[in-house]
Structure 1
Amino acid sequence: MNYKGIITVLVILLLSYSHSIAQVKYYQYSKSVKKDKLDLDLITEFEIGFHTGCNWTIGSASKIARSEQVYSLNLGWNNGRFYGGTEFNLKFWDEVLNKDKANKLNFNRKQFLCLLHAKWYVCKGKVQPFLGVGTDFLSLAETIINPKEEEEDYRQHDNDNFLNYNAWFVPALGIRSKLRSNLFADLTFSLDHSDHYDSMRLQLGISYQPQF
C-alpha cells in the first residue's frame, strides 16, 4: 500500500477544504448584512376610541341649559406622537332653562357635532400628556361650499351666526395612560366655542390601536 500517496491525497483534500471554508467566511463577512427591522414608531396606526363624560354650558349659553351627558366616538390615526382624525360628538341635555332659545339653537334635548381633531403628545412613555385642537367639520364644509357674500345684510348675517351653535374652535388638553399593548385610557378636558354657544366637557374613555 502506498502510504505516501494516500497521505498526499489527504493533505490535498484538507487544503482544498480549508480554502473553501475560508472563501465562504470571507464572503459572509464581506457581504453587507441587511436586516429588515420594523420600526413601529414610524408606522401610522389606525385608532378608535370611545369617551363619555359631562358637559357644562359657560358664558351666555349657561342661561339656555346647564349640564348634559356627552358621548364621543373617535376615528383617526396615531403614530405615537401625533393624532389626527374625526370626533363624532353626541350630547344629551339634562336640564333646559330657556326652551325658546334652545329650540332656535336646535339643541333642545340633544346636539350632534362632527369635529376634525388633532393632538400632540408631549412625551413618550406609559403616561403621555397631550394638547389638542379641533374644529367643526359641518360648519367648515358649509363655509367652503356656500361662502358668505360681502354685501349680505348685517342683520341676516348676525342671525345666521346665532343659529350656528356648532363649535368652530375646540382646544383640548389631557393625559393618556397605557393599559396594555395597543390599549390606552384617556382623560380629556375640552372647550367647545362657537359664536353664541360655549361649553366645556370632561371625558374619560379608552382608545384601541388594532394591528393590521
Structure 2
Amino acid sequence: MAEYPVTAATSPKRHRDRMRYDADTVHAILDAGFMAHVSFTVGGRPQLIPLAFGRDGERLYLHTSSGGQLALAARASGAEGVPVAISVTHIDSVVLSRSAMHHSVDYRCVIAHGPLVHVTDPDEQLHAYRVIIDHLVPGRADDVRAPSPKENAQTTVLRLDLDQVAAKVRDHGLAEDPDDLDLPHYAGVVPLTTTRGPIRPDRADQDVPPYLATWLGAS
C-alpha cells in the first residue's frame, strides 16, 4: 500500500499540513517505536494503556494480560473486535520560543483507528509473539523458548489491521512571531535522541550473540 486513505478518523481539524498518509512514513515511525498507547472505552469510561507491539506488514500485534480490561473487552467483542485508537510517538526536540505560547516539540506520531481483535489461532499467536519480540530486538525471537501453555492462558494476543491510519510530523523547529525576534529571551531547539546503553548481562560468562551485538552497534 503506497498511501492510506484519508478518513474522518484520520483527518484533523488543524495543522493538516503536518499529516502524512504514505505507508513508508507510517511504517518507519511504527518500526522505530517501542511502546504503543491503546485507548478504548469500557462501560462508558475511557481507558488508556501502554503495550509492547510489533508490525507485520499491514498488521499490528500486541499482547496483554488475559485478566485486563482490554483483553476482556476484546474477547467479549468476538470477531468484530473492540474499537480502539493506537498511538506511537517520538519526541525529536524541545522547542524553546521567546513566547510562552510558541513553546513546542518536534515530533513524529502515528495514530491508527479500528477494531482490535482477539487472536485465537495458536499458529498466529506464536507468530505474533515472534513479531513483537523481533520488533524489540531483530533476531531475538530465535533465541528464546516458546510460551508455555500456562503463559498462553495468562496472555491475550491482539491484532489491529492498518486501515485507518496516518502520521503527523512537526519538524520545523522555531516558529517565532516577527515582533518577538528582538526580545532578549533565549530561544533555540534542543534535540533529543534515544540511545542504547552498555548491556548488563544476567551472567558474566555469557557471550553477546551476534544479532544483539549488531543491534547494539546500530544506535
Larger radius of gyration: 1
Q: Same fold (TM over 0.5)?
A: no
